[in-house]
Amino acid sequence: MKKINRREFIQAGTGLAATFTAGSSIGPLLSKYSGETTLSKIIGIQIGAPSFVDEGVEKCLDILQERASVNTLFAMVHSYKEGLSGRVWPPVDHGRQFESPGFHGGYYAKVHTEYYRNTLFKDNPQILRAPDDGDFDLLGSVIPAAKKRGIKTIAWLADQVHNDIPQFQQMAEMDYSGRTLNQVCLNNPNFQSFLNAMVGDCVTSDEIDGLMWRSERWGALTNLLYSWDGEGRTEIPCFCPYCQKKAKDSGINFDRVREGYQALIKFDADARAGKLPAEG
């Protein structure tokens, strides 16, 4: 594999920006560093089901290869975030056009029920399927076509469950006052069993070339101190029974943690209202 020094990287990046401005393919530029084989380095793209549904699988792969020399797909298989797996809106000037973006999210590949027998979804695992693109199977439809072209497929999974799914309530984080919050708790065994099932389904049912995990979360302190329209966010996770037990097992006094955040919430509210302590 050919190594690229810092100067070459910057020059390539400058050329890349110019190429995008000109609206032409970046394939020739990237091929300069292709090395001995086209798979000697990853030229990847994050991509969701809508791109393949709108363009058609083969046409979409044509575009990715011809315009960007893509050899690796980071396929967004499980997500409830529109920015990760939703459709570009308003629609671009190619592919199918839609009157409404309409987004829900979920699992964009085929759900194999046998993997979910030991989860809260054992009676209705199909509720996990993303309804946005009908019965389109992101992995089952794309992987065979991608493999013929020498393109690898990395399955990308995110750490959420939609809060309109009934089982969500049994996985949710809780704040210090016992309120249910809008994301799942990573220490909750119900979520962990679901995660094991989903990963097992994904890596066993389709010939993926790798797995990517996304968990993008802020901590309790950042949630409080960050300005949300001028106010701190008092929904501070997580104080659920499973987190409390984990804290106790680790020698953490959870009552003191709760008292500390209650005091910090008051301090934050006073500071935002201009009520600063006398000592500064």
For the chain, give the percent of residues with pLDDT over 90. Answer: 53
Q: Out of 37-41, 49-53, 100-104, 177-181, pick the least confident.
A: 37-41
DSSP string, 49-63: HHHHHHH-HHHHHHH
CA atoms in the 13 A half-sphere facing the CB of 135: 0
In the numeric block, the tokens 């309804």 are attached to 131
- Predicted confidence (pLDDT) at residue 95 exceeds the cutoff of 70: no
Could you give the CA distance from residue 12 to residue 83 in angstroms, rounded to a whole number? 28
Q: Out of 54-63, 97-106, 126-135, 248-257, pick the least confident.
A: 97-106
Tokens of 39: 């798979």
The candidate with the shortest Cα–Cα distance to 171, out of 195, 156, 192, 188, is 188
* Residue 141 identity (one-letter amino acid): S
Phi-psi region of 87 (alpha: psi -120 to 50; beta: other; left: phi over 0): beta
Could you give the CA distance from residue 188 to residue 14 in angstroms, rounded to a whole number? 47
The candidate with the shortest Cα–Cα distance to 31, out of 46, 45, 16, is 16
| pLDDT tens profile 135-182 | 999 999 999 999 999 999 999 999 989 999 999 999 999 988 888 998
In the numeric block, the tokens 């790798």 are attached to 210
* Residue 183 identity (one-letter amino acid): Q
Q: Please, are residues 67 and 29 in contact by the beta-carbon 8 Å criterion? A: no
Q: Please, are residues 129 and 200 in contact by the beta-carbon 8 Å criterion? A: no
Tokens of 81: 């975030």
The better pLDDT of the pair 25, 271 is held by 271
Put simply, whether the predicted model's pTM sits higher than 0.85 gets the answer: no
Q: Out of 139-148, 220-229, 245-254, pick the least confident.
A: 220-229
Model confidence at 270, pLDDT cuts 50, 70, 90, reads confident
φ/ψ of 138, rounded to 5, equals -55, -45
